[in-house]
Amino acid sequence: MTDSLRVATERRDRILLITMRRPQKRNAVDRAMADALDAALNLLDDDPALAVGVLTGGPAMFSAGSDLGSGSGGYRTERGGYYGIIQRRRVKPLIAAVEGIALGGGMEIVLACDMAVASESASFGLPEVRRGVLPTCGALFRTLHAMSPGMARQMVLTGAPIDARRALALGLVNEVTPPGEALVRALAIAGEMASNAPLAVQACLAAMNGMVNGDDAAGWAATEEALKAVRHSEDFAEGVRAFLEKRAPIWRGR
């Protein structure tokens, strides 16, 4: 096992288990966690002895996304983009094992994985509009791949979360387990993949991701245009300030 202040990695035969471990901050991503996730995923792709990765936030939660209170905002890495994972062109499969919340950027991390297993305790949401900001880590277009356009709009525009069973019905997750068993099932699926011919698995993954993610450039451009519309608004600043002060925001519409 290899530990950093933010992320632990553990080899289980040909599987790399990657665990976010910042529970006191609900596994919110700061600069240090982005770098640690980047290093773990570099290891997964670069080590020929590893075939599959499993990403978890531990037994209580997955991730609440960006750490708005860290004062940094520089959560990008050279190979992985946002959080060290969101824009990464991975060679090997990555499975998210979700217990508890996957909110905002946490849900966007799930969307960046190849598949997800969630326990009945899991919930998924994109609450950014409730804070005067917007999802900048892929959700504005990746939700359109994962579910119907109408449901994608509902999640983004209301900010309301959904539970694991609803996420399964929408196609956001592959399987739902009893509470506490998401990691066990994710590791089992990873083991099935790891027993297959590695070059065949990687070639299939590249082909399928190439088709699904072929229009990502347009999605990132559209996200940037949306961000420009709100980045310098009073509401943008008020939403972040209200979140940090733990109060309801007062919107001005400007």
Residues with a known catalytic role: 108, 128
Rounded-to-integer distance, Cα 17 and Cα 118, Å = 16
In 3D, which of 72, 80, 73, 77 has the Cα closest to residue 55? 80
DSSP 131: G
**Backbone phi, then psi, for 218, in 5-degree steps?**
-65, -35
Classify residue 104 as exposed, middle or buried by CB count within 10 Å of its CB (0-12, 13-18, 19+).
Answer: buried
In 3D, which of 216, 211, 209, 214 has the Cα closest to residue 92? 209
Using DSSP, how many helices (H) and how many strands (E) does the chain show? 9, 12
Rounded-to-integer distance, Cα 133 and Cα 228, Å = 11
- Asked whether the beta carbons of 75 and 66 are under 8 A apart, the reply is yes
Q: How many CB atoms lie within 10 A of CB 122?
A: 30
- Asked whether the beta carbons of 79 and 42 are under 8 A apart, the reply is yes
**Backbone phi, then psi, for 81, in 5-degree steps?**
70, -145
Q: Which two tokens stand for residue 80?
A: 């992985």
Exposure on the CB side of residue 73, measured as CA atoms within 13 A: 3
